[in-house]
Amino acid sequence: MPELPEIEAHAERLTEAFAGRILTGFTPLSFTALKTASPAPDAAVGRMIDGVSRRGKYLLIRLGDLSFVVHLMQGGRLEPDTKASARPRGGLARWVFDDGPALLLTEAGKEKRAGVWVVQGDPDLVAPLAGLGPEADRLDPATLAQVLETHSMRLHGLLRDQRAISGIGRRLANEICHRAQLSPFVNASKLGPAEQSRLLRAIQSCIDESLTFERGRDRMSSSKERPGAVHHRADEPCPVCGDTIRSVEYASYTVAYCPTCQTGGRALADNTTSKFLR
């Protein structure tokens, strides 16, 4: 799933391409696409796009006091539509403008979980953005300490919890834990000041590097194209110490780690009933 760096860079590309354009129509191409009934999308017709921004893993198409909030989920993409096909492959929704190409939301696969919300006023106050945690790229030591100390849960899970910290997903959680030299399974509330400091530096540097990579592209990267030391690197040598990268597989995600860098040299059993390192 695209995370903060991918969404941020894509919002910048979309702003460059669509800011100043006048919306002339919005069409849901799938009955699953539109998640809200009021206000109606037609309320945005005739308005100018101010820009496209990001909150957590969501894109916000801003038109005055109305916003289209878009979540891409795993396989969604929001890109210029130059073909204008009546039935685009994987098409979920289309925005049409007074000139130039339309904007098309698509999603690969059969689940069709990507979606669009139309909200009026401050989008942070209503679903789906209400309740999101602080942005990962804006954390300061005090805010991070408060988040950690109030969440007695495994670090990897906390980093992915959008109500605790917004913007981080599976890949960044793996990379951040590795760079901070912390076990993904350590209890977040037990981290001391030195460990918290390492964690904050790791969050900042991993996001900055990923954002620089993503800004160098003309379209959003795929998961396998994104750089990393441990994510999607199981059985490869760790670039820091040379130990073999290991993984713990779950139904919907994989925790990747280096035993030497993160778990005191101990490899964890690759199943969900393991006795995890604390």
Residue 251 scores a pLDDT above 80 = no
Question: Which has the closest alpha carbon to 53: 38, 35, 68, 42?
Answer: 68
Check residue 149 and report its DSSP letter: H
At 124, the amino acid letter reads: D
Q: For the chain, how big is the Rg over CA atoms in Å?
A: 20
Domains 4-125 and 136-262 share a fold: no
Q: What are phi and psi of 115, to 5 degrees?
A: -160, 175
DSSP 193: H
Identify the CATH number of the domain defined by range 4-125. Answer: 3.20.190.10
Number of residues that make up the chain? 278
Say yes or no to pLDDT of 224 above 90. Answer: no
Quick one: pLDDT at residue 179? Answer: 98
Confidence of residue 270 (pLDDT cuts 50, 70, 90): low
Question: Alpha-carbon torsion 5, 10, 11, 12, what sign?
Answer: positive
Q: Averaged over 245-273, what is the pLDDT?
A: 86
CA 150 to chain CA mean position, Å: 23
The CA dihedral of 160, 111, 31, 117, to the nearest 10 degrees, is: 10
pLDDT tens digits, residue range 16-60?
A: 999 999 999 999 999 999 999 999 999 999 999 999 999 999 999
3-state SS assignment for residue 124: helix
Q: Is the per-residue pLDDT at 192 higher than 80?
A: yes
Where in the chain are the domains?
Answer: 4-125, 136-262
Q: Name residues whose C-beta falls within 8 Å of residue 64's C-beta, 6 or more positions apart in sequence.
A: 47, 48, 50
Helices (H) then strands (E): counts for the chain? 6, 10
Structure tokens at 263: 């778990």
Residue type at 40 in one-letter notation: A
Name the pLDDT band for 271 (thresholds 50, 70, 90): low
Q: Select the CATH number that applies to the domain covering 136-262 from these four: 3.40.50.2300, 1.10.8.50, 1.10.3430.10, 3.40.50.200.
A: 1.10.8.50
Listed in sequence order, the residues at least 6 apart from 142 whose beta carbon sits closer than 8 Å to its beta carbon are: none
